[in-house]
């Protein structure tokens, strides 16, 4: 179990989870659904199952590529810790659990579950033919607040959709930074990414632009929420300030000729930003 949790980087579930919870809370405040605790449990399980399937599938599909990359050769499948067959079975197990869980939420979520899986699993193929793979990854995580809202309200709404676009830009921005580490490897192995296509300097500018757009969209979300719930206020703005400041801070960690702090930027800063933003905004809404 420890090896499989390492395979899917289970701790990274924290990136999208706070945004899913925001979507869920917005839906609850609108509907006051009395089954909210049961639905909340199902939403959390869906997040876990979908992400576990996506990560394990990515590792399975990229097993031969990872075996050739000095940075990734230590991953569980190329290192022989987990077999290729075992990883694929793990993927199928989580796919079945995800679809089954959506069945107990509502019909809309159940019918749309294959679409969600197509996006989060299909991402793994995209770097084989397009540099926009970072955007597809962002779409996958951006589904979190939209899906959580749909789970409790059974319909779509603009606020979770705009929140989802903000998550898309945030994730795509930091994934571009993460891909800087492999730009030479990608170029030599006919793999595609923004860094492989445009180089380091332009890639960092694109990442900054995406993060600026993410911050702007979050401010739009907070503005829209304030018109629906006038009592929300300073905590939501504080959430935005902290999140935006951490987005800016991570760009000071990465230089064009120094990628040594990318892991700090990718894992620590973005995880903290997500948790703080989600905690403050949800607290503001509930209080």
Tell me the CATH number at 183: 1.10.357.140
Q: Are 59 and 13 in contact (CB under 8 A)?
A: no
DSSP summary character for residue 143: H
Q: Are 53 and 13 in contact (CB under 8 A)?
A: no
Q: What is the overall mean pLDDT for the chain?
A: 93
Q: Packing angle between helix 234-253 and helix 194-228, nearest 10 degrees?
A: 170
Rounded Cα–Cα distance for residues 137 and 123 (Å): 6
Tell me which long-range contacts 85-92 makes (C-beta under 8 A, separation of at least 24). 87/7, 87/56, 87/59, 87/60, 87/63, 88/60, 90/4, 90/7, 90/52, 90/56, 91/53, 91/56, 91/57, 91/60
Strand partners, 255: 258
Residues shown for the chain: 287
Number of folded domains that form the chain:
1
Q: What are the phi and psi torsion angles at 193 (to 5°)?
A: -165, 165
Listed residue (81, 84, 85) closest to 63, CA to CA: 84
Q: Is 106 left (phi over 0), alpha (psi -120 to 50) or beta?
A: beta
Give tens-digit pLDDT for 215-252: 999 999 999 999 998 877 789 999 999 999 999 999 99
For 261, residues 6+ apart whose C-beta sits below 8 A from its C-beta are 253, 254
DSSP summary character for residue 69: -
Give yes or no for residue 79 having a pLDDT over 80. Answer: yes
Q: Which helix (H) or strand (E) holds 119?
A: helix 107-126
Give tens-digit pLDDT for 40-60: 999 999 999 999 999 999 999
Q: Could you write out the three-class secondary structure of 174-185? A: HHHHHHHHHHHH
Rounded Cα–Cα distance for residues 135 and 139 (Å): 6
For 245, residues 6+ apart whose C-beta sits below 8 A from its C-beta are none
Give tens-digit pLDDT for 62-75: 999 999 999 989 98
Listed residue (117, 141, 124) closest to 20, CA to CA: 141
Q: Are 113 and 98 in contact (CB under 8 A)?
A: yes
Give tens-digit pLDDT for 110-143: 999 999 999 999 999 999 999 999 999 999 999 9
pLDDT for res 10? 64
pLDDT for res 233? 79
What domain range includes position 219? Answer: 2-286
């Amino acid at each position: 179990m420890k090896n499989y949790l390492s395979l899917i980087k289970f701790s990274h579930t924290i990136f999208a989870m706070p945004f899913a919870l925001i979507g869920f809370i917005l839906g609850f405040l609108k509907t006051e659904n009395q089954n909210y605790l049961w639905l909340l449990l199902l939403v959390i399980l869906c997040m876990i199952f979908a992400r576990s399937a996506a990560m394990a599938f990515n590792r399975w599909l990229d097993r031969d590529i990872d075996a050739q990359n000095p940075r990734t050769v230590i991953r569980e499948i190329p290192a022989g810790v987990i077999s290729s067959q075992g990883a694929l079975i793990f993927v199928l197990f989580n796919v079945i659990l995800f679809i089954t869980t959506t069945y107990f939420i509502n019909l809309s979520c159940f019918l749309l579950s294959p679409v969600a899986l197509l996006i989060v699993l299909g991402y793994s193929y995209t770097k084989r033919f397009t540099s926009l793979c970072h955007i597809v990854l962002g779409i996958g995580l951006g589904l979190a607040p939209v899906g959580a809202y749909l789970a409790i309200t059974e319909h779509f709404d603009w606020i979770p959709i705009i929140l989802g676009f903000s998550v898309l830009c945030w994730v795509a921005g930091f994934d571009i930074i993460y891909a800087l580490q492999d730009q030479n490897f990608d170029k030599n192995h006919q793999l595609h990414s923004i860094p492989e296509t445009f180089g380091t300097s332009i890639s960092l500018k694109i990442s900054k632009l995406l993060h600026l757009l993410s911050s702007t969209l979050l401010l739009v979300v907070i503005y829209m929420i304030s018109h629906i719930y006038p009592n929300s206020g300073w905590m939501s703005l504080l959430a935005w300030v902290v999140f935006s400041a951490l987005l800016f801070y991570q760009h000071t960690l990465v230089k064009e000729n120094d990628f040594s702090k990318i892991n700090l930027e990718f894992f620590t800063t973005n995880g903290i930003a997500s948790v703080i933003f989600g905690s403050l905004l949800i607290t503001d809404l509930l209080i």
